[in-house]
């Protein structure tokens, strides 16, 4: 269905990956879009308000309609989020951090928007997943993001082994993540489980003042006197078990 010019546009709004003293990730034209929106679909209203304060010069918060979209949002509520768009209003979809929909909710809403012929415009901004892939030195031609691994140690170990095997056989980079307070446990599990020749990258606090990116074979990780402390730091983990000499 072609886009109906009488409807609004759904803007996919990137958010900074954490508190930054200055803007080093969001283009000015994106900020200008954010500053004029009166309807925002968000995961967390408090987080969204904090981001708007950081952006500055937005529509007054008391005039903004916040629509909550998370794992508890019903299908009926998601359907209702199209109403302002059908009325001709521009709407923003905003995640808590990073790029909307990538490892965040919102896909089903966007499907509905396309079905109604409403324009969708993705905006440029930071994505921890792609920043980590860029910085890892691993295969950027074939990669898979697997989200969260199992919490139980034996299941987590078997999952890591399976992902390592997939990476070796298909020469594919595997990316995954963890809840920040369990980052150290996952990092240790990867080092203990993977083959010494497998490459392992940790990318934490990307774009932030305490940014950390370490990418080296597991054997080098095992020789470290002290591992990085990733407690409460947003992090992406990557493994590559293929032959790095085959990369372009």
Q: Which of 57, 137, 58, 67 is nearest to 105 (CA)?
A: 67
Q: How do strand 119-122 and strand 143-148 relate by DSSP bridges? A: unpaired
- What's the start-to-end Cα distance of the chain, in Å? 39
pTM as predicted: 0.91
For the segment 182-192, what is each residue's pLDDT rounded down to a tens digit?
Answer: 999 999 999 99
Mark whether 34 and 133 lie in a shared domain. Answer: no
In a domain, 89, yes or no: yes
- Classify residue 243 as exposed, middle or buried by CB count within 10 Å of its CB (0-12, 13-18, 19+): exposed
Of 72, 104, 122, the residue at which a domain comes to its end is: 122
Its domain, for residue 231, covers: 128-246
Contact call for residues 17 and 98 (beta carbons, < 8 A): yes
pLDDT category of residue 244 using cuts at 50, 70 and 90? confident
For the segment 125-165, what is each residue's pLDDT rounded down to a tens digit?
Answer: 999 999 999 999 999 999 999 999 999 999 999 999 999 99
pLDDT at residue 171 above 50? yes
Tell me the C-alpha distance between 178 and 202, whole Å: 12
Tell me the C-alpha distance between 75 and 8, whole Å: 21
Residue 200 bridge partners (DSSP)? 216, 239
In a domain, 1, yes or no: no
Mark whether 77 and 172 lie in a shared domain. Answer: no
Q: How do strand 212-217 and strand 235-240 relate by DSSP bridges? A: unpaired
pLDDT category of residue 238 using cuts at 50, 70 and 90? very high
Of 122, 143, 166, the residue at which a domain comes to its end is: 122
pLDDT at residue 119 above 80? yes
Q: What phi and psi, each to the nearest 5 degrees, are found at residue 74?
A: -75, 160
Give the CATH number, domain containing residue 148. 3.30.950.10
Split into its structural domains, the chain has a count of 2
In a domain, 51, yes or no: yes
Of 81, 102, 122, the residue at which a domain comes to its end is: 122
Mark whether 87 and 168 lie in a shared domain. Answer: no
Give the CATH number, domain containing residue 56. 3.40.1010.10
Mark whether 236 and 134 lie in a shared domain. Answer: yes
Mark whether 137 and 204 lie in a shared domain. Answer: yes
Mark whether 139 and 101 lie in a shared domain. Answer: no
The CB density around residue 125, as the number of other CB atoms within 10 Å, is 19
Mark whether 92 and 144 lie in a shared domain. Answer: no
Q: What share of the chain is helix, strand, coil (3-state, %, to 5)?
A: 35, 20, 40
């Amino acid at each position: 269905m072609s886009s109906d010019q009488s409807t609004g546009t759904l803007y996919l709004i990137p958010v900074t990956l954490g508190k930054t003293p200055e803007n080093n990730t969001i283009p000015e034209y994106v900020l200008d879009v954010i500053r004029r929106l009166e309807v925002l679909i968000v995961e967390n209203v408090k987080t969204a308000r904090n981001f708007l304060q950081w952006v500055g010069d937005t529509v007054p918060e008391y005039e903004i309609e916040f629509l909550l979209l998370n794992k508890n949002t019903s299908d009926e509520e998601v359907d209702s989020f199209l109403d302002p768009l059908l009325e001709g209003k521009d709407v923003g979809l905003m995640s808590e951090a990073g790029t909307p929909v990538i490892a965040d909710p919102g896909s089903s809403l966007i499907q509905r928007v396309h079905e109604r012929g409403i324009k969708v415009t993705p905006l440029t901004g930071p994505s921890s997943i792609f920043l980590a892939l860029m910085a890892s030195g691993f295969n950027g031609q074939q990669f898979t993001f697997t989200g969260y691994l199992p919490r139980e140690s034996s299941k987590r170990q078997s999952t890591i082994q399976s992902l390592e095997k997939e990476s070796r056989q298909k020469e594919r980079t595997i990316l995954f993540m963890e809840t920040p307070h369990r980052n150290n446990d996952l990092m240790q599990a990867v080092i203990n489980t993977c083959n010494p020749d497998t490459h392992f990258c940790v990318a934490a606090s990307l774009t932030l003042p305490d940014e950390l990116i370490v990418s080296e074979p597991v054997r080098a990780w095992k020789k470290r006197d002290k591992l990085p402390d990733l407690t409460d730091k947003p992090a992406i983990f990557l493994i590559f078990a293929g032959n790095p000499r085959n990369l372009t």
